[in-house]
Chain A
Amino acid sequence: MRNGLLGRGLVAEFGDPLPERMVAPSLKLQDLIEEIRGAKTQAQEREVIQKECAHIRASFRDGDPVHRHRQLAKLLYVHMLGYPAHFGQMECLKLIASSRFTDKRVGYLGAMLLLDERHDAHLLITNSIKNDLSQGIQPVQGLALCTLSTMGSAEMCRDLAPEVEKLLLQPSPYVRKKAILTAVHMIRKVPELSSVFLPPCVHLLHERHHGKAVGLPILCFSSVDRRIENRMGTPAHRRRVAHTHRHTRNRLSCPWPPPFTSPTLTPGILLGTITLITELCERSPAALRHFRKVVPQLVQILRTLVTTGYSTEHSISGVSDPFLQVQILHLLRILGRNHEESSETMNDLLAQVATNTDTSRNAGNAVLFETVLTIMDIHSAAGLRVLAVNILGRFLLNSDRNIRYVALTSLLRLVQSDHSAVQRHRPTVVDCLQETDASLSRRALELSLALVNSSNVRAMMQELQAFLESCPPDLRADCASGILLAAERFAPTKRWHIDTILHVLTTAGAHVRDDAVANLTQLIGGAQELHAYSVHRLYNALAEDISQQPLVQVAAWCIGEYGDLLLEGNCEEIEPLQVDEEEVLALLEKVLQSHMSLPATRGYALTALMKLSTRLQGDNKSCLDVELQQRAVEYDTLFRKYDHMRAAILEKMPLVERDGPQADEEAKQSKEAAQLSEAAPAPTEPQASQLLDLLDLLDGASGDAQHLPPLDPSPGVALVYLLDLPCAPPPPAPIPDLKVFEREGVQLNLSFIRPPENPALLLITITATNSSEGDVTNFICQAAVPKSLQLQLQAPSGNTVPAQGGLPITQLFRILNPNKAPLRLKLRLTYNHFHQSVQEIFEVNNLPVESWQ
């Protein structure tokens, strides 16, 4: 480090670069790494790196060939930390073009990391690569091929295809295996090159490998092959070699690499060749047809691999070269797909591999797994398919989680096509529901649901319902809907079906889909014999817990419809319970008042109350709640005479779907009715004179007049008005929204509501949205109004708005304006955006007049 600092100091002092031999060596790579790691803060690290990059840049400018590779290496290090390194791109080219191996090594690495297809600069290395491919130093050729296969663009591949083709049939196995895999990359980039690489591929496969002949007639293709044949002795000798089971002699006698001369045949070439053939077959139907012919040869290669105890050098945990086995099996899969003949040729071998592979370690299981995938994809014999499914079933019992994972995933794919085979493993699958890893239990759930049929539905549902009670929250929704769907398809009895749905609603009510409520009400409605049973059960469930909204909704509906059955107390199927009206009404009232109840639920409860008010025969006037009593009485009074209208009236109060306004409407209607009959707290007997009482009220109505349409004192007309009463007056026209603020994609909107029953109240909802690329954080909105108004701010929904249309923030303001003073509103916003803190204070203009008049 001392040298480095001294070197820089000298340069700085004299102002211009010193002659080369006087410049002290720059910082070594490892020293720089140490310095960076020694930095205590991000800022310190940045400082060190920026300083060093400045030196590196200067060094590049000065063109120091001796240390260029070191400078680039340092640059590559900081690049990995995330700092810009584009100024090193040209240096990569220079290093690659150098004749020093050290330079080339770093230069090519730099090219792979810094250059890519999108920069035109990448084409400039094409020439260097061409030169390096054709000069004979193998490590250099290796570098060039590696770089080409990592970042070679389509253009580069087209230019260099002839060079790579030449290298395919070169003697050196080290270069050949790299050339073969480079060809794979080239075909991926430029599919037309398949025609270039197909012929050499054929040659490659016919060569010998592992020093053993495969018993096929030796075809004379090229001089290269003939040379190899001559070296291996007479045909008779070759045949003898083919039948031995120990092959190591021939191969290991050629040590690697024996100054890169002798054409040793290594398994690397076979592996590369199989990979290349696979790529060709995936891209070209002609290649596929051609290589189907070599299926017997591939089968033989794999069989040899599996049976003859391969060299330990290539085996893992007693499995011979699993990488090669998997590659061959993959190729067989592609060749056997949709082709009877090829599939048949493979059947025996696949069975052999499936039964003989050692499964104690992952390597063996990897081969087994690939075998299963191949069996399932080709036209295999039925017995073989069952074998494959059984292997997967065994995998499910494996202690290794990863193996269970691939088994579940594969079984999911097979459950439709091989349903009965998979059914046999149902108990094991169900056990997997207990997996601690969520990705496994999710798959087990999907698979279990797929395995439900009419014969196992009761048992399966029991398991699944038990699972529902304990499963992680993100699986609840899927489990619940899965159960409901399966119940719908396979329910043995209606009562079982209702019980099942009830259980789901009580355990996971919050997670069921919206249509579950409608479905259940329809189901119950249609099962007349079960009305009593349903209403009893639902009542009990509701009495225990009023928080699960779908359950509450269905229960309320049911009680409304069949409340009479409930009060009768007769039900064969369950214990009779004594429920009186008070309890029922109290329960419904509780639902209505509960803060847990959604507006939709309140709607259901309200409707149920209304229905009960007409269906219950008992003395409901003993109900304690005045409001309810009043309502019950009003309707009783108003409609006793007008019974024929009851249906129509009840119809006019549809199930509340969305939010407050309609419920408010209903409340408003009842309020109006109340105002009309306010003078009758507890009327006793229904009389014809009741009508006259009402008319009296109408005449006498004074202070309330402003809420009612103008009345004509004549009875006939009053009657008309009375009849008109239930029709809801048109709701006040909604006040339009107002956009009050916009800055760099952040927008603030105001929406206004004037609740009809409280004209002094104004509810403003502010909504903050973000369409920019940066998140908005620490968002706070404050407001001010004139002194004559009262302002109350409720807590905002959050203080972050994610970028690009993320979830907006909403906040409610309550403004009381009893004197109808003109509304003025000042807003103050503070938030962080694009790493800056923003503060805005402004008065809202153009407030709609309807918001305060």
Chain B
Amino acid sequence: MQFMLLFSRQGKLRLQKWYVPLSDKEKKKITRELVQTVLARKPKMCSFLEWRDLKIVYKRYASLYFCCAIEDQDNELITLEIIHRYVELLDKYFGSVCELDIIFNFEKAYFILDEFLLGGEVQETSKKNVLKAIEQADLLQEKTEYHSKSFIGFKKAY
């Protein structure tokens, strides 16, 4: 996968994960063009389109569009499963996720994505394992925040 974008029906960006190196300007241009292209699609059209030399796979969940750019040799249908799995993870974590959750907790959305995909590839196929990893990290964060005021360094976990 080259990149994943989440954006609202009004074209507002909610998450951007880039797995290829591009300048800020290029990213903005790509985002703008792609958002326009996807938003112009009618509801009955298929989830795939060809854009520049990439394949775009997108799916709308309520008010959010999930949009991935994959390469020519990648499988579009499995990419749809990747998108769906990510939405399920968000849903489990936030409990019936909606766009507002992702707006107000965007860092968490990134952390969850980073436990599911790494370098653009699937790293973990068990929902349970991904959620457990996030849980552990959240616990660690809480533990260290609790102690943080006194600036105590923490021990290694084992």
Residues of A within 8 A of B (CB): 30, 33, 37, 66, 73, 76-77, 80-82, 99-102, 105-106, 109, 113, 116-118, 135-139, 142, 145-146, 149-151, 153, 174, 177-178, 181-182, 184-185, 256-257, 259-261, 266-268, 271-272, 275, 313-314, 316, 321-324, 326-327, 330, 362-363, 365-367, 369-370, 373, 401-406, 436-440
Of all chain B residues, the one with the shortest Cβ separation from A174 is: B133
Closest to B32 in A: A82
Shortest beta-carbon distance from A267 to chain B in Å:
6
Contact residues of A: prevailing secondary structure: helix
Q: Which 9 A-B pairs have the closest CB atoms?
A: A366-B77, A149-B119, A185-B119, A181-B118, A366-B78, A401-B46, A117-B21, A437-B45, A405-B46
Tell me which of A100, A139, A366 contacts B81 (CB under 8 A).
A366
The smallest C-beta distance from B47 to any residue of chain A, in angstroms, reads 5
16 extra interface residue pairs, beta carbon distance < 8 Å, beyond A146-B118, A439-B48: A30-B104, A76-B106, A113-B16, A116-B24, A135-B156, A137-B140, A142-B115, A185-B119, A327-B122, A402-B76, A403-B77, A405-B46, A406-B48, A406-B77, A439-B49, A439-B50
- Quote the shortest CB–CB distance from B65 to chain A (angstroms): 15
Contact A440 B156 (CB under 8 A): no
**A145 lies within 8 A of B21 (CB):** no
The residue in chain B whose Cβ has the minimal distance to the Cβ of A145 is B118
Pairwise interchain contact A82-B28, C-beta atoms closer than 8 A: yes
* Residues A406 and B44 in contact, CB atoms below 8 Å apart: no
Nearest chain B CB to A344 CB, angstrom units: 23
Docked Cα-Cα span, A322 to B75, in Å, equals 12
User: Is there a chain A Cβ closer than 8 Å to B34's Cβ?
Assistant: no
Assess the B49–A272 pair: CB atoms within 8 A: no
Please determine whether B106 and A77 come into contact, CB atoms closer than 8 angstroms.
yes
Minimum Cβ distance to chain A for residue B77 (Å): 4
B12-35: CB near A (< 8 Å → 1, else 0) gives: 111111110111100010000000
Which A residues touch B73, using CB under 8 A? 330
Contacts of A109 in B (CB 8 A): 107, 110-111
On whether the beta carbons of A76 and B21 are closer than 8 Å, the reply is no
A323 B128 Cβ-Cβ under 8 A: no
Contact A324 B141 (CB under 8 A): no
Name, among B15, B129, B158, the residue most crowded by chain A CB atoms within 10 Å (CB to CB): B129
B125: Cβ under 8 A from any A Cβ: yes
Complex Cα distance, B102 from A825, in Å, reads: 62
| Residues of chain B with a CB closer than 8 A to A259's CB | 157-158
Complex interface: chain A residues within 8 A of B158 (CB): 136, 259-261
| B residues in contact with A138, CB < 8 Å | 157
Answer yes or no: B132 CB below 8 A from chain A CBs. yes
**Cross-chain contact A146 with B114 (CB below 8 angstroms):** yes
Is there contact, CB below 8 Å, between A365 and B123? no
B124 at the interface (CB under 8 A from A): yes
* Shortest Cβ gap from A681 to chain B (Å): 64
Q: Name 25 interchain pairs, CB-CB below 8 A, sorted by A.
A: A66-B148, A73-B107, A101-B143, A102-B144, A102-B145, A102-B148, A118-B21, A136-B158, A137-B157, A139-B133, A139-B136, A142-B137, A151-B21, A181-B123, A260-B158, A261-B158, A363-B81, A366-B78, A367-B78, A402-B47, A405-B48, A406-B76, A406-B77, A437-B45, A437-B46
Tell whether, in the assembled complex, residue B77 and residue A365 are in contact, meaning their CB atoms are under 8 Å apart: yes
Partner of A177, one of B15, B110, B124: B124
B39 within 8 A of A: no
B121 at the interface (CB under 8 A from A): yes
Across-interface contacts of A139 in B (CB, < 8 A): 133, 136-137, 140
> A370 to B21, Cβ gap below 8 A?
no
A33 and B132 in contact (CB under 8 A), knowing A149-B118, A369-B75, A370-B78? Answer: no
Contact of A316 among B22, B47, B81 (CB under 8 A): B81
Q: Distance in Å from the Cβ of B26 to the closest Cβ of chain A?
A: 10
> Is B77 in contact with A402, judged by CB distance below 8 angstroms?
yes
| Nearest A-chain residue to B134, judged by Cβ | A139
A220 to B133, CA, bound (A): 32
Among residues of A, the one whose C-beta sits closest to the C-beta of B19 is A150
Q: Give B80-99 as 1s and 0s: 1 = Cβ < 8 Å from A's Cβ atoms.
A: 11100100000000000000
Q: Which residue of A lies closest to B114 (CB)?
A: A146
What chain B residues lie within 8 Å of A184 (beta carbons)?
119, 121
Instruction: Answer yes or no: B127 CB below 8 A from chain A CBs.
Output: yes
A101–B121 CA distance with the chains assembled, in angstroms: 25
**CB <8 Å contact, B23 and A118:** yes
CB closest residue in chain B, given A154: B21
Asked if B141 and A105 make an inter-chain contact with CB atoms under 8 angstroms apart, the answer reads: yes
The distance in angstroms between the C-alpha atoms of A576 and B72, with both chains bound, is 59
Q: Is the CB of B123 within 8 A of A373?
A: no
Contact of A76 among B81, B107, B121 (CB under 8 A): B107
User: A362 — which chain B residues lie within 8 A by C-beta?
Assistant: 77, 80-81
On chain B, the residues within 8 Å of A321 by CB distance are 125
Residues of chain B within 8 A (CB-CB) of A137 are 140, 156-157
CB A145 to nearest CB in B, in angstroms, measures: 7
Residues of B near A440 (CB, < 8 A) are: 46
At the interface, yes or no: B10 with Cβ under 8 Å from chain A?
no
